[in-house]
Amino acid sequence: MDRRKMLALLGVSPALVAGAPSYARTAPASAPSAGASVVTDRMITAVNPAVTPQLPKRIPLAPRLDKLDGKTIYLVDTDWGGMGQNDGILQEMQAWFAEHMPAVKTIIKVKKGNFVTDDPALWKEIADAKGDGVVLGVAG
């Protein structure tokens, strides 16, 4: 589908998407209603959503653990579906570790916020407790 047609169907001006300045139409010459403010600046700013060509700084992955015996692994639920619906899978993982690898301590935590928000308090808690690993779960 042509992008211009798609934007027109969505009611978006291609000029806004391209980042070109756009000017608001002048209001009809009528008296403003009581309590309405008069706008003197008619120019609006649009942000260009295009991706920059520069890649972000890459951070290497943490090194693999040589063994899990005696380690503490956090099983973190990202709460993808909301309302703690996903903990069943992590509980199954915890039960598997208890049966097959009893020397591994597992702790289930639910991340605050939704799946895309950060939870600095949880990461600090895991770091302060000297957690050895994290399984970040998105399941449903």
Average pLDDT over residues 75-102: 84
For 12-69, the pLDDT digits (tens) are 665 655 555 555 555 555 555 555 555 566 777 777 777 777 887 888 888 899 999 9
Rg (alpha carbons) of the chain, rounded to whole number? 26
pTM (2 decimals)?
Answer: 0.57
The CA distance from 115 to 128, in Å, is 23
